Every structure is written in structure tokens, then in C-alpha cells.
Chain A
């Protein structure tokens, strides 16, 4: 449930920052860079929105080591205090 909530929020963020990307076509277990072209400025906008919506700051040193979006979702799940009963910041 929590994972689905987080995934939906990330989908909304992608739609806002990179509307040309079809989020549902992304394989969450594969490297994002192999599937879509998102440069550092776009990626930072995504991290800023994630912070704004979930309250989770993903440090650059952590983000750079993430292999795919599933790892990002897992990280947010571990760190977030707001994904309870669907409540969002």
C-alpha cells in the first residue's frame, strides 16, 4: 500500500517535471538512464518535488548510487513519516 502511494506520487511528479515521459512504460527495476533521458537539472527538480511532497530529503551521495526507481521508492518508504493511511505532507 505504502509503495503504491509513493509510486503514484512519483508518477505525478514525473508528469509535472517531464511530461513527455510515459511513466507507466518505465521498468522500475532497470536503470532510469537506460530508459529515458533525464539530465541532472530535471533529476534535481524531481528530488525537490519528492522532498516537498514526502518530506524526505534524498542526499546527492545517496541518489547517485541508486540503480533504479525501485531503490528510490524503497528509500522514501524507509525514511518517510507521512505515508500513513494515505496522509501526505
Chain B
């Protein structure tokens, strides 16, 4: 059957994009995950992937077109029946499903703009507006986008904050030892080691990994860990390392370098922009000792790492110099409380102090 391919959701508060180029032609056979096109949002250029197998039958947009999320950009022939056209992974929130049923709306026609293509309450309105004339509005600056997103976060999310100062002499020694044995371009980055520990602690504390949508917390199946990346022109972007729970330390290391490079050159994929389940900020890079970050909605947590530095450490009643790092947790009080947050930080400290056990594999 012929299927209209919509412009998918490109992240919270990103409602439209400018079309840049096609990666396919009419007649091409494509598979789920193949690149379809490149579009530009207010923040970055993003590569759109196909969500299903099929053959491209028509290309509806051209470079320079400004398109709203949900508007068809191409058509394709697919073998899937109408009931299978909505991918298994597209979810609908319980509240949206209830309202759709009450209003007699055909759920199969809805385009989800939530995480992982989830249909949210606001998408019940999109189905009506998609078919109407697209109103051309100028692109906002990256600063405006950040302002909107952070204002929304502070208004809607009751944040709580916790901090731990962690001694990491064992970790630094372990990393130095590893890097002595590695070729220069395989050098292990400290942020990759920190990420590996975060992924392990999130596995132990799944209530910090997911979304708060329509009044309920939805735990994410995968850990798609978002890394705050500074952009050359100013501002930050938070792309995800997808399914990070399945990555070895070496894969995480390489993935991190690749992700940062692609974030800065405008070659991110739309899933990397829209499916972050928990974020990490490493402001220590730029010299800050502590960061108390603002959660990116609809996520429910953000972990911040400050600058790694030498400081006075008390051990067996004696003071010595040692490497320390301040780690912070910003979390949504609707989902977790300080007790759970403190437990997470304590477990993270234990993981960072057992690098051979935590980081191998």
C-alpha cells in the first residue's frame, strides 16, 4: 500500500525544519533505518531515517522548503497492511488514547511527536492542523530555542538537586594504565569512562531513565544517553548515544567521539535528537567545579560532572592531595525523591572507585 512519510518529531519544542537535501530517489528500495533526507532545525542539521521498509514513489519536498512536523515529505509503497503501518514501537499515552477514543478519532491516522514517536495529547490537534495550510514563521535563533525549552522545564518540572564529591584516584590511575597500552587514536577519553559508570548506575535505578508525559512517568526500555555538546557558533545540543546499555567501553569511546564530530558538523540522525532518555553534562571541561543543570523535558534527570582536579583529601585522619570530581544530580520530584537520588549518587561513587569491575567490557 502507498504510505505518506511524515516529517518526524525532531525534539522537544522543534515544530518545523527547513528541507536541505534528499538521500534517496524515486524508485529506490529502502529499509528501516536507511537515511531518507537531511533537514535543518533551529539547532542543527539532522538526518531523517526511514521507519519502515518500502519503495519510494514520490518526493514531495525540495531544498529550501520549510516543513511542519507531521507534514508528508514523500510517499512510499510498503508491504505492510494498514494495521501495521504504525510501527510497533509507536506508543500512545493512556490519556491521549482515552481522549482519542472519546472523540472518535482514528488513532492509526495520528502522528506521534513524543519520544520514540509516542502519540501525546497535543497530537490529537496535529491531525487537524497537518492538512491545513502551513503558516510560514521565521526560524528562531538557537538562543530563543534554548530559552523556550529551559523556561518550560523550570515551569513544569519540580527539580531537586543533590551533589557528591567523589575521590577518583583509582579511576585516573586505571585510565592512565589503559592508555599506556593503547595506540594514540584509541586513547580512552575520561568522559567515556564517566558515561560507562553512569549507564551502569542508571540500569540499577531505572526511575531516572524515561519520560514524564501527560501526568505519568514512562520508563524507557533503552538507555539513550544524551551528551551535552557545545556548538561552534554558541549554544549546546544534546544528542543521544542510542542503546548505550549494549555498548562496551571501547564502543562507547568511539561512539562519543563520532557523536561529537557529527553534532558539530550537522550530521546527526533524527533519532539521536529525539530519543534521549537521560542526559549528562560535563561542564568540568570548561572549568566549572559544579553544575546544577536544568532537565531537558520530558526527561526526568540530568547528571552533571564538574572539573576533575587535585584537592585535599582526608584519609585515615591524614590529609593528602588526591583527584576529586563533583557530581550532581538534577531530578524530577514527581518521579523520584532525594532518597532515591542519594542512593544513585552513592552507587555511582562505588562504581567509579571500582574501574576494573565497572569499566571492563
Contact = CB atoms under 8 A, between A and B. Distances in A.
B215 interface: no
Interface string A36-54: 0101110010011101100
A82 B310 CA distance: 31
A39 B285 contact: yes
A84 interface: no
Contacts of A37: 230, 286
Contact of B189 (A20, A41, A61, A65): A41
A1 interface: no
Given A33-B286, A64-B309, A40 B189 contact: yes
Interface in B160-189: 172-173, 175-176, 179-180, 184-185, 187, 189
B197 to A, nearest CB: 16
B179 A60 contact: yes
A20 B309 contact: no
Interface in A13-35: 20, 33
**Dominant secondary structure of chain B at its interface with chain A:** helix
A40 B227 CA distance: 13
Chain A interface bracket (under 10, 10 to 19, 20 to 34, 35 or more): 10 to 19
Among A37, A47, A51, A61, the most chain B Cβ lie within 10 Å of the Cβ of: A61
A39 B176 contact: no
A86 interface: no
A61 B173 contact: yes
A59 B176 contact: yes
A39 B187 contact: no
A8 interface: no
A3 interface: no
B320 to A, nearest CB: 15
A44 B184 contact: no
B257 A51 contact: no
B323 A64 contact: yes
B287 interface: yes
Contacts of A64: 172, 308-310, 323
B230 A61 contact: no
Contact of B176 (A33, A61, A65): A61
A47 B187 CA distance: 9
Nearest to A59: B176
A39 B227 CA distance: 13
B284 to A, nearest CB: 8
Contact of A65 (B180, B284, B310): B310
Nearest to B282: A40
B232 interface: yes
A48 B310 contact: no
Contacts of B190: 40, 60
Given A37-B230, A64-B308, A48 B286 contact: no
B256 to A, nearest CB: 8
B191 interface: yes
Given A39-B285, A40-B285, A48 B187 contact: yes
A60 B189 CA distance: 9
Contact of B179 (A20, A33, A59, A65): A59
B180 to A, nearest CB: 6
B168 to A, nearest CB: 10
The 6 A-B residue pairs with the shortest CB-CB distance, nearest first, are A51-B184, A59-B176, A39-B285, A61-B172, A40-B285, A48-B184
Interface of A: 20, 33, 37, 39-41, 44, 47-49, 51-52, 57, 59-61, 64-65
Interface of B: 172-173, 175-176, 179-180, 184-185, 187, 189-191, 230, 232, 256-257, 260, 282, 284-287, 308-310, 323
